[in-house]
Amino acid sequence: MANGICFDVKEIDRLYHYQGRDLGCFCSEKGTVFKVWSPFADRIELHLYRNGNLDGGLDGNPDRSFGNPCAFEMKLLEKGVWERKFPENLHGTFYDYTVWIGGCGRRTADPYAFACSCNGHRSMAVDLSLTDPEGFRKDTAPPQENEQIIYELHVKDFSYDKDSGVLEEYRGKYKAFTLSGTNGEYPTCMEYLKRLGITHVHLLPVFDYSALDEAGGEKQYNWGYDPMNFNVPEGSYSTDPFDGTVRIREFKEMVQALHKNGIRVVMDVVYNHTYSEDSWLDRMAPGYYYRHWEDGTPSDGSACGNDIAAGRAMVDNYIVNSVLYWAEEYHIDGFRFDLMGLLTVELMNRIRRELDGRFGKGEKLLYGEPWRAKESPMEEGTMASLKSNVSHLDEGISVFCDDTRDVIKGHVFYEEIPGFVNGGRHLEKKLLCAVTGWRRKDMQTEFNPKSCAQVINYVSAHDNFTLWDKLVLSMHGGNGCNNEYRKERGPVSGAEAFKVKYKDVLAANKLTAFIYFTCQGHLFLQAGEEFGRTKFGDSNSFRSHPEVNMLRWHQTVEFSDLVSYYRGMIRLRKRLPGLYDKSADAAERITGERIHGEGLVSFLVDNRGKRDEAGGASSDDLVSEKSGYQQLFIVYNARKTEADVELPPGEWVVLADGTQADCLKNVRSGHNRRVRVEACSGLMLGKL
């Protein structure tokens, strides 16, 4: 029993599994059709309105709305589907429903809606063909590159800073992405992204969420992990949240602009829970869309009060169709799944198949968090998309690798616990395992991916500390400043402590980037990581002030050496098949792993091009056409002192060291062909 209604899930799925993709409101010059799925309803009434205002809240009484709604009875079809047709194009008309179950009527917006009112409490009929910016139907994604460099970005963070140069009315909005230049002294926003060289922008949630008042002031802030209307863009990022078409058009303009600038778009999707269990989904089919324990209490594996019941036929259909809608209508190029461990392996593999079938194998990027906050009751016969089950996921579905993250920089929650780059001990073997995307056969771990294609290598994201803050806290203690800097600058504490450009933190940041950029797998970085982004020690800034979260664009000048280092590593990565290879046998390219002592490791990489079926380099591609180097020699030195490492036979050049990346320096080898690696730095050499 859930919400007072008793039902057998398997029986509901058997009797009412509707496989059509026509739920919602569709309107054109041929007319308008409203369709919803509500298997428990006795009758449903459709209400049409002239505007989207809603007075009196969500008390289930449509008569409390502004204006006098026109009411129409819906017709029951098969499989629990209800329908109402009109000969007119009702584009711009607002609507909602009253669903009657057991003599009780509840007002609800349309869970399948494609447009809505300000704050999403009322749905809107929309002719989507009227929302396209000029040329959008011809918009296509830029060609796939050798490597995917994913850049995680919040729409508001991108342009809120006045130093962004963005017009005030566009700051924090979708429109900021449409500006090709900001006429400043240094590149910002889109111009900066192009120069950095990333291939994908990963947008934090951009479908309609509940945490903000869309008509409120610009000082409001939220990451957006509180979904309300899954198929509608968030209105607070639009220039007019009251006109339901504006957010749609401006979202499309943003995608179109990113594509024109050679950048693909990933959407962060939150299908594991809703803002409240009292959602449009639950009002249409009480109890069906959510998981409950045997005693009827809601499960809370999301730590947000409810869990979507993935594994049920119409729940899975809803999620699959929503993903396809964003890919088709908005030209989204990839999806990142929040708390993917609450979804099922079967559902994720189905999404992969559906996207591949429509757009081509691997054309859309798919990845997610292979964990959940708490236990959650799964449907019988399903398997959770957890890290321990990664081998059951399609090879085209990747997961965030917390093992790589933590071995490099230290514990994600406890700032004082370091990783390899900031003083951690006995991590060398794990680090070498990370290099191969955790595919080393001699090291059994819980994480056993089919190939490094299933691995997302990262060291910072919106959650938890920024990389800079983690390094400052772990290397300089709670007050953020050691004796050296106290002498130079006097007492430094609080927020100011995170603004200091510490030499040792800068070196550790570069070494961190060097390491994960030389690990096999996909690459992911939090926006601003490459210029020392700080949130002043705020480890959970989901609703902190926008000035805490925003990208401070002048830091790209202050940290220009760090930006240059990341740009160089990005350029290198795209040219080195030994590192960007995602095949099942890519790990075999890594040989000669050696632990020289605490804090010092090295290995060789076969950098030849395509590999034949036997696992070796193909005869017509013995030298990489991209880089010209048959072999790479890579060293990680986390020690506080420089180190001499024996250089393998051959002629070598330096491609990256502790200060520069993509630099092409001649090797200055010492006695007995040994090469010097500076303290807290990496070294990459290419064999000519």
Catalytic annotation present for 338 = yes
Amino acid in the structure at residue 19: Q
Q: How far apart are CA 570 and CA 573, in angstroms?
A: 5
- Residue 517 tokens read as 């950029």
**For 70, what's the count of Cα atoms within 13 Å in the CB-facing half-sphere?**
6
The residue annotated as part of the active site, out of 13, 268, 333, 369, is 369
Q: Which of 410, 403, 377, 405 is nearest to 388 (CA)?
A: 403
310 within 8 A of 302, measured Cβ to Cβ: no
| CB neighbour class for 254 (10 Å; exposed up to 12, middle 13-18, buried from 19) | buried
Place of tokens 């249409």: 284
Q: How far apart are CA 471 and CA 532, in angstroms?
A: 10
- Return the CA Rg of the chain: 27
Q: How far apart are CA 350 and CA 455, in angstroms?
A: 20
Spatial neighbors of 374 by CB under 8 A, at least 6 apart, are 299, 300, 301, 302, 303
Q: How far apart are CA 14 and CA 37, in angstroms?
A: 14
Q: How far apart are CA 480 and CA 495, in angstroms?
A: 9
Would you list the DSSP string of 28-93?
Answer: ETTEEEEEEE-TT-SEEEEEEESS----S-SSS-GGGSSS--EEEEPEE-STTEEEEEESS--TT-
The residue annotated as part of the active site, out of 338, 403, 428, 529, is 338
Phi, psi for 272 (deg, rounded to 5): -85, -15
Q: How far apart are CA 215 and CA 239, in angstroms?
A: 10
Q: Which of 499, 422, 498, 497 is nearest to 459 (CA)?
A: 422
Q: How far apart are CA 233 and CA 429, in angstroms?
A: 45
Spatial neighbors of 463 by CB under 8 A, at least 6 apart, are 540
Q: Which of 435, 396, 397 is nearest to 602 (CA)?
A: 435
Q: How far apart are CA 632 and CA 536, in angstroms?
A: 38
**Element containing residue 433 per DSSP (H, E):** helix 428-435
Q: How far apart are CA 248 and CA 334, in angstroms?
A: 18
Q: How far apart are CA 643 and CA 627, in angstroms?
A: 27
Q: Which residues are catalytic?
A: 338, 369
